[in-house]
């Protein structure tokens, strides 16, 4: 009987050790899963914040570009050719550095992606660069065809900018991966 008591004690101890091992292993796996989930959530948050910052920079540059090209209203309101040409020269002088800033912001967007947002950002810069020589061509020229080309190029820029904003917004949306 003492022998069977010993066996019961040994069996109870082994059962307790086995249960303890299984519990410790399950706890360890749960902690590891929690750590991975937390790390993933932090990485996603950091990526979203970084993208938001780079997208905002490109949008700031696009707004600065708009501030320059919207001065075309002042050109239209000018009373004589000399005033028109003076305003156009000022616009042309300001537009180069603004496009340069846009190029710099574009490189940041390329790094942060995703690819479709990078492509849209490239289109914004490309369309802005198309406006620049058309603006220069307006100096000293009252040809309505040149003005029409300028206006069309600006509309293309605006459309590309709106497309970029839509794609950027979707890229920043929080996605629920859990069903």
Please write the tens of the pLDDT for every residue from 124-175: 999 999 999 999 999 988 888 999 999 999 999 999 999 999 999 998 886 6
Residue 91, number of CB atoms within 10 A of its CB? 22
For residue 179, is pLDDT > 50?
no
How confident is the model at residue 2, as a pLDDT? 60
Q: What are the backbone angles phi and psi of residue 69, rounded to the nearest 5°? A: -70, -25
162 vs 53: CA distance, rounded Å: 17
Domains and CATH numbers, the chain: 50-172 (1.20.120)
43 or 48, greater pLDDT: 48
Q: Residue 31 — pLDDT band, cuts 50, 70, 90? A: confident
| 80 three-class SS | coil
For residue 1, is pLDDT > 70?
no
């Amino acid at each position: 009987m003492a022998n069977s008591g010993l066996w019961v004690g040994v069996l109870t101890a082994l059962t307790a050790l086995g249960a303890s091992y299984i519990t410790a292993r399950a706890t360890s796996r749960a902690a590891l899963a929690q750590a991975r989930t937390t790390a993933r959530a932090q990485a996603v948050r950091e990526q979203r914040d970084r993208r938001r910052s780079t997208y905002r920079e490109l949008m700031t540059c696009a707004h600065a570009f708009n501030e320059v090209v919207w001065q075309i209203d002042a050109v239209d309101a000018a009373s004589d050719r000399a005033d028109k040409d003076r305003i156009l020269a000022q616009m042309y002088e300001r537009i180069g550095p603004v496009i340069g800033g846009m190029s710099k912001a574009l490189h940041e967007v390329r790094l942060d992606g995703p690819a479709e947002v990078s492509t849209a950002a490239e289109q914004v810069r490309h369309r802005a660069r198309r406006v620049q020589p058309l603006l220069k061509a307006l100096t000293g020229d009252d040809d309505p065809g040149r003005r029409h080309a300028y206006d069309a190029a600006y509309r293309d820029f605006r459309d590309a900018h709106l497309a970029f904003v839509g794609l950027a917004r979707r890229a920043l949306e929080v996605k629920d991966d859990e069903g």
